[in-house]
Structure 1
Amino acid sequence: MSTHSYTNYSLKSLVLYFLKLGAIGFGGPVALVGYMHRDLVEKRKWITEDDYREGLALSQLAPGPLAAQLGIYIGFVHYRLLGATLTGLAFVLPSFLMVVLLGVAYEYYQGIRWMQAVFYGVGAAVIGIIAISAYKLTKKSIGKDYYLWFIYLIAAIVTIITENENILLSIGSGLFYWLVKSSTGLKQQASTVTQAIFPVLAQSTEAGQTDVTIHTSILLFFAKAGAFVFGSGLAIVPFLYGGVVKEYGWLNEQEFMDAVAVAMITPGPVVITVGFIGYLTAGFSGATVAAFATFFPCYLFTVIPAPYFSKYGKRPGLKAFVDGITAAATGAIAGAVIVLGQRSIQDIPTVIICLGVIASLVFFKKIQEPLVILVAALLGIFLKSAG
């Protein structure tokens, strides 16, 4: 990795910065990595532009939540494993504690009418937010590449039909696109791979719960989520839905949508919804296991390649593989809009809330998502009380 920068800051200062960012950093992964650049590169000059760019590139290539991985990498730049570990924990801890507290409140008040009214409005708003995110990611990740569009559409269709995100389909997509980009002579091989792999991978890979403890099941499932989900933090949503609701039945569909909504209204990474899900499934210990299992793979995917990334990270084959997986993940998000929308868009008022959210995010670029969620919650309470 680069050694262009200088240590004009202490590890304590860096950890305190990430605690603060984790506690007040709204806006999703793109906003969070923007704050890091503004604060650490431009203002404080703790990290050089070269180190920041290498960290961002590695975070985009590796599976897992983008902003958390960049934070881990920044901690690694001068303070190696200790820095990476402490900055990662500091960044995730505030939002983890918030979602656990919200989980406590949710379990306590779930049967109360005003809480149901809040999530009536919020659920519809979340669909609008995910729809806009899917559109932006599609525009950014797919472009005009016909092969990527093919992967994207297959992934979207499979997600809609199976109501599950297929990990093998994502990996197959990466291999397929790598073959396509390797050389024109390999395109015929890629076509053969397509014919052989995609029909098989389009089948659901549900395994069913075995006779292991609930905590072991949580550990294994969320570790798989952290290790194989590429793209935006929202890319984990269709994968989680397939496992948490369809396969294991830990949450019902309404509880799952509420879990996604909780991630939207709290600062820090969207992926922290796993803490809320873990809490509803098995209490505080379940929340802790779910969060650890999700974030530990991305920690490893950051610190292990970090020393070598500046030398090997820009190889075209690796980029093509990741582009293929990202296209599949983006298609899965688009499919999830349809799957989850069928549950949350229940009537005319929820249709109006969803369309209103989409319009506000399109026409008012700087509007913050937590504000949108708050307005939707108030609308939900008003509509339910009026009804």
Structure 2
Amino acid sequence: MNTARTVNFREALRFWFKLGFISFGGPAGQIAVMHRELVEEKRWISEQRFLHALNYCMLLPGPEAQQLATYIGWLLHRSWGGVVAGVLFVLPSLLILIGLSWVYVVYGQVAWVAGLLYGIKPAVAALVLQAVHRMGGKTLRHPRYAPLLWTIAVSSFVAIAVFSVPFPAVVLAALALGWLGGRWVPAQFARAGSGHTAAVTDGVHVPAVIDDHTPTPAHARFSRARLVRVLLTGAALWALPMGLLVAWQGWSGTLAAMGWFFTKAALLTFGGAYAVLPYVYQGAVVEHGWLLGPQMIDGLALGETTPGPLIMVVAFVGFLGGWGQQVLGPDALFLGAALAAVVVTWFTFLPSFVFILAGGPLVERTHGRLHFTAPLTAITAAVVGVIASLALFFLAHVAYPAGVAANGWMRPDWVALVLVAVAALALIRFQQGVIRVIVACALMGWALRGVVWA
């Protein structure tokens, strides 16, 4: 680190605590906030080192913004610095979502609350369409037309939407195609840069605490002994609570089943929360019945309106599953649901900490030498198709909230579809903020509820 400056742990703690409450806007917005605060204003880390860490986080399954915070916290203040940064990135969102989930299950059928949710659901469908547009634009149109990437994206859409192929199989197939394509036709899998610009003050480079050429701190240097310790600690932190849950309620118990399912989900979240939602839907709704399909849309809406990574929607899934399954009995519905939300969050985010603390020292040895982009690009192309299938699923539930009639002649909810179109136009064409669009749609839904349900 730069010997002229250091970052006090208490100062870093204040920043990570604040970040947990202001990290709106999805991963792009959260990364932009960290870039502005840490690179441009505080100068805790240089542009090059920030992007190097970000590139690694983007290769990993899991929420890249939370992992980036963990990485920088670890680089500044050892393992505890990384743990604190990562936990505080998630904790406010978890507490807020537990409260909102309780309001949802208790008051969700009250007329004015239902009216707000009626308007929010089209906004969520529009947000998924925006995700398809953004990711598709970056992956399928840049740097040049790439028919193989288009083929992967369309095939993934058909596999998920038509044949219900499991999401892990789609990811593994894309990984294999990317590895082969990177060898045979590398030009088809070229990736663009990040788009960030270097930070300067009054036209002069200001040295950062962790600057471009700052030597790797001693605690961040690779050691086989340290790697083994991190992996064993991570395994213990997974096995101990899982063992307690199995001993308490059995392997088929709701909490143990949630822990195992969301461990698998955590290892498959390439491409962000939208990409893993079809897998969560398959498991939580279809396989386990922890909640209903329309409730997934409501949960995503609540997740979009709270700070923290969007994958925190899993806390909503856990809460509703714990409430419905009465994991602590009928006399402790809230405590059981809150416990389920905490269990789900623990098993979802634990792998992210292990990835950073175990892999960080290896990454610090490879400045500018990460060459795994072809498989990642193929996975990203597949994710575009997967998210498109999710958009289709959400649109169907918005248009036919009670399901499609057997004869297929049920009239769609045209008002809701118009709200989807308006929200998508606001997000994609006019670049309006997520919160503004959701609030506007919620108010329109509340105002229109009498007309729609008359």
TM-score by length of 2: 0.76
1:302 corresponding residue in structure 2:
356
1:124 corresponding residue in structure 2:
122
1:50-199 equivalences in 2 (<5 Å): 50-143=48-141, 144-163=145-164, 165-183=166-184
Q: For 1:168, what is the secondary structure of its paired residue? A: helix
**What is the letter of the counterpart of residue 79 of structure 1?**
H
* Contact 2:140–2:149 (Cα < 8 Å) also in 1: yes
**What is the letter of the counterpart of residue 448 of structure 2?**
L
Q: Percent identity?
A: 28
Q: For 1:343, what is the secondary structure of its paired residue? A: helix
2: CA distance, partners of 1:28 / 1:211: 34
1: CA distance, partners of 2:345 / 2:140: 30
1:355 corresponding residue in structure 2:
421
* Contact 2:251–2:257 (Cα < 8 Å) also in 1: no
Aligned length: 361
2:436 corresponding residue in structure 1:
371
1:28 corresponding residue in structure 2:
26
1: CA distance, partners of 2:125 / 2:72: 33
Q: For 1:279, what is the secondary structure of its paired residue? A: helix
Q: Deviations over 1:52-97 (max 9, x none)?
A: 1111111111111111111111111121211110100011111111
1:287 corresponding residue in structure 2:
341
Shift of 1:51: 2.0
Long gaps (5+) in structure 1? 188-209
1:226-237 equivalences in 2 (<5 Å): 226-237=266-277
TM-score by length of 1: 0.88
2: CA distance, partners of 1:17 / 1:269: 17
CA RMSD of aligned residues (A): 2.1
Does the alignment pair 1:331 with 2:331?
A: no
2: CA distance, partners of 1:60 / 1:163: 27
Shift of 1:236: 2.2
Q: For 1:36, what is the secondary structure of its paired residue? A: helix
* Contact 1:222–1:290 (Cα < 8 Å) also in 2: yes
**What is the letter of the counterpart of residue 218 of structure 1?**
M
**What is the letter of the counterpart of residue 369 of structure 1?**
V
CA separation of 1:250 and 1:164: change in aligned 2, threshold 3 A:
farther
2: CA distance, partners of 1:219 / 1:29: 24
Q: For 1:305, what is the secondary structure of its paired residue? A: helix
Q: Find the partner of 1:10 among 4, 8, 14.
A: 8
* Contact 1:100–1:275 (Cα < 8 Å) also in 2: yes
1: CA distance, partners of 2:125 / 2:256: 31
1:39 corresponding residue in structure 2:
37
* Contact 1:76–1:82 (Cα < 8 Å) also in 2: yes
Q: Find the partner of 2:265 among 213, 225, 230.
A: 225
* Contact 2:123–2:437 (Cα < 8 Å) also in 1: yes
Q: For 1:294, what is the secondary structure of its paired residue? A: helix
1:193 corresponding residue in structure 2:
none
CA separation of 1:355 and 1:142: change in aligned 2, threshold 3 A:
same
Show structure 1 runs of 4+ deviating over 4 A: 3-7, 162-165, 312-317
1: CA distance, partners of 2:134 / 2:31: 17
CA separation of 1:68 and 1:60: change in aligned 2, threshold 3 A:
same
